[in-house]
Structure 1
């Protein structure tokens, strides 16, 4: 049985018909209960009702987006405290505002826990999110116009790894590596050849749709050979790294960048971790280079999540995430789905729906109406446009947090198969039937941090 994060929720299966397919996926805002959030209910009943509606939506649907998860009630509690009231420009012991006696302790706890959990010499917990964290890396180690290298966005990389539509691709000369056409996997010999030819100042490894283990050691060798700073972006797999279910980049990378949500099950925030020699450059890049005061309530919630991730139960969770993803991939392959790279080593599955005769966007929207929440996503060498691609991306962090195990993966695969088939034929009745089945299973596996009632 998977470790649980907190109390559960009573699902609500009532939905209200709407005029559009997108609107049909959301329950109508309901009157919030005054027992929870009484101040919000009194001050702004519309927002209170929408929060309750979102709780219901998260409770009764199966969330398969690999970048989403549930946080514990403790993380939610820390996120909504009087720490919100403080401005704290600077770092512990070196602030530009007085009254930081408590805040300094909060941030120091978060930093110390990050260093202990990931085995790093330095950690900065102030970045507001993953993209600002990556921007700080550029500010610390590169000058405008320098060559930077990362995985191409259509191949599974991230916008901030030097892709053209991002500031990182406009301010720097971005060169991208991809994956092999035949295997959907990285060819590290090609990555090495590109690095030797382009001599980038910074190399990013990691991405947003990478279903295979990242060979940090090989990237480290390449970066050292060409004199580049290696940045491991582990935003998606940080929880797996912390739980020992994915190799750590720490021995090989100069900098490790990560968000604090996704598989790490923390609040929406980010961290930069590095060797001690890079501490000053990174800290100056975050503040005052890019940001003002940190969001102290988020820092506290990050500290809570890091403490939770240090427990033995989290290690179990991380390995169960991977086991569920592999089991789900096997079940999907058995049903004729085309999975990029042929499967997964981590929490993420990327599938090309071309053989199923339905585009990714149409499938994702139909699955949403069935209570199966995924995102449409480009696949490598996708002939379709990015906003209407061939694939969908799914993952197992959220369902594992709800206590689903490998025994449930045949059911999940069957739902996805039936949902994609219904998307192809336009069978709304089949999607409605699926939604009822999903809600029934979700009722038996309450989501952490969603105390409906």
Structure 2
């Protein structure tokens, strides 16, 4: 039984951990930024490396006793280089947001200019939102997607860049369902003599498997999360050319962080090894195929999708055309009651509050990890639409919940 030792020390926490394991087993995780790590990754993250301080980098630590920490971190670095083809890799950031923070710290001064995608158009808080430190320390201008197509407005981006003269342009997004043209954004950055930061937090696994264009070798800096589509230990990563290596490493430590979370780096090393397998490449391709199948089925039901579909792992739906009186939060809560876990999300041209927006965001990484294929995902789309069409009908929610229970039994997750 899991959590036996925790139960001896702290029954209350053990109860919560057991309940969370059951929740994940018994529900369908469709939050686009979530996935299910392997037992091996979770075991590595719960290892004795949680006890070890290892400030510095392999071979250059500030504490003794780091020989095994060095080995683990070097494995993570080497495997990341192999996965993404990067010259230099730093695996110490505690998250994708802290990876971004470290790039800004390395290359910008307070007041310097960031050009990034607007949050309601698919961007991220750490790209310059005023509620985030980036929006408070730096001068931020934002570009948008074309309201008619849902794709990045490259002409508008180029015009804004020429007028704004940014020091850094950020690409890579948290709610953008199309493949990112990193090369085209690099051309804009080159034209205005700006750095280019590509944040691939959501698509690290898709890029590693070659099912999405890679910004490595194109953008100056590539950051990401290591626990989303890549399914490794929780945390962040930075990749860059050797010319920026010292600046980036110094910005991560001692600039932005103290001791690295070595147990999480162990999880990254294990997850990266898993990602180097042929099975992982098949998983990544299936993730994209599942999202496409689900998107087509949702549109068959009359749901309006931003950009008209998806090229990656996520789907962004705008409820206003087909369900003008229904909010994303209503759908989120009703689906959660039925055992389908996704999130309400803003959409381009948002007319409601970010706390109760007009859209929903769906992702297929965790379903694919569970073993779902196109046919299963089409059925999940049918179940979702039953709730979207009538989120207040308790009998509909109950019927969907019953089928979700059957599906989770058919595709078990953790023992």
Residue 267 of structure 1 and its aligned partner are, at CA, apart by: 2.2
Counterpart residue number, 1:216: 182
CA distance in 2, matches of 1:267, 1:280: 24
Residue 366 of structure 1 and its aligned partner are, at CA, apart by: 0.5
Length, aligned pairs only:
413
Q: TM-score, length-normalised on structure 2?
A: 0.98
Counterpart residue number, 1:268: 234
CA distance in 2, matches of 1:410, 1:171: 45
Q: In the alignment, does 2:353 pair up with 1:385?
A: yes
Structure 2: which 5+ residue stretches go unaligned?
none
- Taking only aligned residues, the RMSD between alpha carbons, in angstroms, comes to 0.8
CA distance in 1, matches of 2:358, 2:259: 42
Counterpart residue number, 1:201: 167
Deviations for 1:256-291, whole angstroms, at most 9, x for unmatched residues?
Answer: 000001101112200000011010110000000010
What does 1:411-426 correspond to in 2, within 5 Å?
411-423=379-391, 426=392
SS in 2 for 1:394: strand
CA distance in 2, matches of 1:318, 1:349: 16
Residue 169 of structure 1 and its aligned partner are, at CA, apart by: 0.8
Counterpart residue number, 2:342: 374
Q: In the alignment, does 2:330 pair up with 1:362?
A: yes
CA distance in 1, matches of 2:4, 2:293: 43
Would you identify which runs of 4 or more consecutive aligned residues in structure 1 move more than 4 Å? none
SS in 1 for 2:89: strand
Q: TM-score, length-normalised on structure 1?
A: 0.90
CA distance in 2, matches of 1:154, 1:201: 23
Q: Which has the higher contact order (CA 8 A, sep 6+)?
A: 1
Structure 1: which 5+ residue stretches go unaligned?
1-34
SS in 1 for 2:103: helix
CA distance in 2, matches of 1:128, 1:249: 22
CA distance in 1, matches of 2:380, 2:4: 37
SS in 2 for 1:398: helix
Residue 205 of structure 1 and its aligned partner are, at CA, apart by: 0.1
Q: Could you tell me which of 246, 251, 267 is aligned with 2:212?
A: 246
Q: In the alignment, does 2:364 pair up with 1:396?
A: yes
Q: In the alignment, does 2:251 pair up with 1:285?
A: yes
CA distance in 1, matches of 2:3, 2:355: 38
Counterpart residue number, 1:64: 30
2:217 touches 2:241 (CA, 8 Å); kept in 1?
no
Counterpart residue number, 1:191: 157
Residue 38 of structure 1 and its aligned partner are, at CA, apart by: 2.0
Q: Could you tell me which of 296, 303, 309 is aligned with 1:337?
A: 303
Counterpart residue number, 1:324: 290
